[in-house]
C-alpha cells in the first residue's frame, strides 16, 4: 500500500473535465520559455494536486532521493520572478518527481538520502496565485542516471507534434494511482474519526462543530486555484 502525498484530498480534481483548470495529465500548456523566449505548446506530464503554500508533502513509498532540490518552474514576471523546485525519488515501484515545491526541505532530507513511506519530504512552493504539488511518475526505477526532462532528445523523450511532453519515455499517467491512494486516505481518515468518536459531542454544541471543521480541513485543505495560462507569465518545465 502507498501513501497519498498530501495530508488532505484537494477540492480541485486532478481528472480531466470540461472547462476544468488543466490540472490533469495530458492537459495542453501554452507557455513561453524563460531562456529562449520561444512560444510553444507543452503537454502536461503530471497531475497537479492543488494545495496552499507550505502544505507538507509525504513520500508515497520508501525511497532514495536521487537528486534535488533543483529549479523546476518559474512564473510571474522578470521583474518579480518566483521559482519553485523539485526532487526526484526512486521508490519501490517507480521514480517520482515531486515538483513545484519549496527549496526548503525538512531537516535531513537531501539528495543521496533514504526516506520512509509517509515521511514529510517537502513543502508546496510559493508561486503567483497557483500553488500545488506537481506529481510525475516514471516506470523504470533503475534509470537513476538519466534526467527526467530533455527538450532536445526526441528519440528517448516523448514528442507529440505540435506539442510535446519533454519527458523521459517511461512517463506514466498518475491518475489511476492517485485514485487508489485517495480511497486509502479516505478510509484512514474515517477510521481515525471513528476512534475519536465521543457521543457527548453529538449534541451539536461548539465542541462538535470544532470536530467537524477540523475533519473538513483534513479532507479538503484550503486555498484557491486558477487555470494556468500565458497570463501567469513565463514558465518552463511544467
How confident is the model at residue 184, as a pLDDT? 92
The CB density around residue 71, as the number of other CB atoms within 10 Å, is 13
pLDDT at 221: 58
Q: Could you write out the DSSP letters of every residue in 165-190?
A: --BBTTEE--HHHHHHHHHHHHHHHH
Q: Is residue 47 situated within a structural domain?
A: yes
Residues 6 or more apart from 49 whose CB is under 8 A from it? 5, 6, 10, 14, 23, 132, 133, 135, 178
Residue 100 lies in a domain: yes
Question: Which whole-number Å values give the CA distances from 117 to 7, 22, 63, 70, 123, in the listed order?
Answer: 13, 28, 8, 22, 16
Instruction: Note the maximum CA span of the chain.
Output: 65
pLDDT at site 206:
57
Taking residues 73-82, report their average pLDDT: 69
- Per residue in 84-108, pLDDT tens? 999 999 999 999 999 999 999 999 9
CB atoms within 10 A of CB 46: 26
CA dist., res. 175 & res. 177, Å (int):
5
- For residue 18, being part of any structural domain is answered with no
Q: What is the pLDDT of residue 214?
A: 63
Domain housing 163: 28-232
Give me the mean pLDDT over the 117-142 stretch. 92
Q: Is residue 113 part of a domain?
A: yes
CATH number at residue 224: 2.70.70.10
Whether 141 shows a pLDDT value over 70: the answer reads: yes
Please tell me the total count of domains within the chain. Answer: 1
Reported pTM:
0.79
**pLDDT band, very low/low/confident/very high, at 158 (cuts 50, 70, 90):** confident
Residue among 89, 53, 82, 50 at smallest CA distance from 68: 89
Amino acid at each position: 500500500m502507498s501513501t497519498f502525498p498530501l495530508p488532505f484530498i484537494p477540492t480541485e480534481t486532478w481528472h480531466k473535465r470540461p472547462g476544468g483548470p488543466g490540472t490533469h495529465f495530458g492537459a495542453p500548456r501554452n507557455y513561453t520559455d524563460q531562456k529562449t523566449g520561444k512560444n510553444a505548446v507543452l503537454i502536461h506530464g503530471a497531475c497537479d494536486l492543488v494545495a496552499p503554500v507550505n502544505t507538507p508533502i509525504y513520500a508515497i513509498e520508501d525511497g532514495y532521493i536521487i537528486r534535488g532540490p533543483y529549479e523546476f518552474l518559474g512564473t510571474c514576471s522578470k521583474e518579480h520572478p518566483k521559482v519553485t523546485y523539485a526532487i526526484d525519488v526512486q521508490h519501490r515501484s517507480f521514480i517520482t518527481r515531486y515538483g513545484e515545491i519549496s527549496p526548503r526541505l525538512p531537516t535531513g532530507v537531501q539528495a543521496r538520502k533514504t526516506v520512509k513511506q509517509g515521511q514529510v519530504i517537502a513543502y508546496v512552493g510559493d508561486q503567483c496565485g497557483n500553488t500545488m504539488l506537481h506529481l510525475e511518475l516514471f516506470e523504470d526505477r533503475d534509470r537513476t542516471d538519466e534526467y527526467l526532462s530533455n527538450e532536445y532528445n526526441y528519440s528517448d523523450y516523448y514528442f507529440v507534434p505540435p506539442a510535446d511532453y519533454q519527458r523521459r519515455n517511461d512517463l506514466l499517467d498518475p491518475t489511476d494511482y492517485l485514485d487508489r491512494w485517495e480511497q486509502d486516505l479516505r478510509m484512514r481518515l474515517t477510521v481515525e474519526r471513528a476512534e475519536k468518536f465521543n457521543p457527548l459531542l453529538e449534541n451539536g454544541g461548539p465542541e462538535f462543530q470544532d470536530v467537524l471543521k477540523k475533519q473538513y480541513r483534513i479532507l479538503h485543505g484550503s486555498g484557491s486555484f486558477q487555470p494556468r495560462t500565458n497570463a501567469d507569465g513565463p514558465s518552463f518545465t511544467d
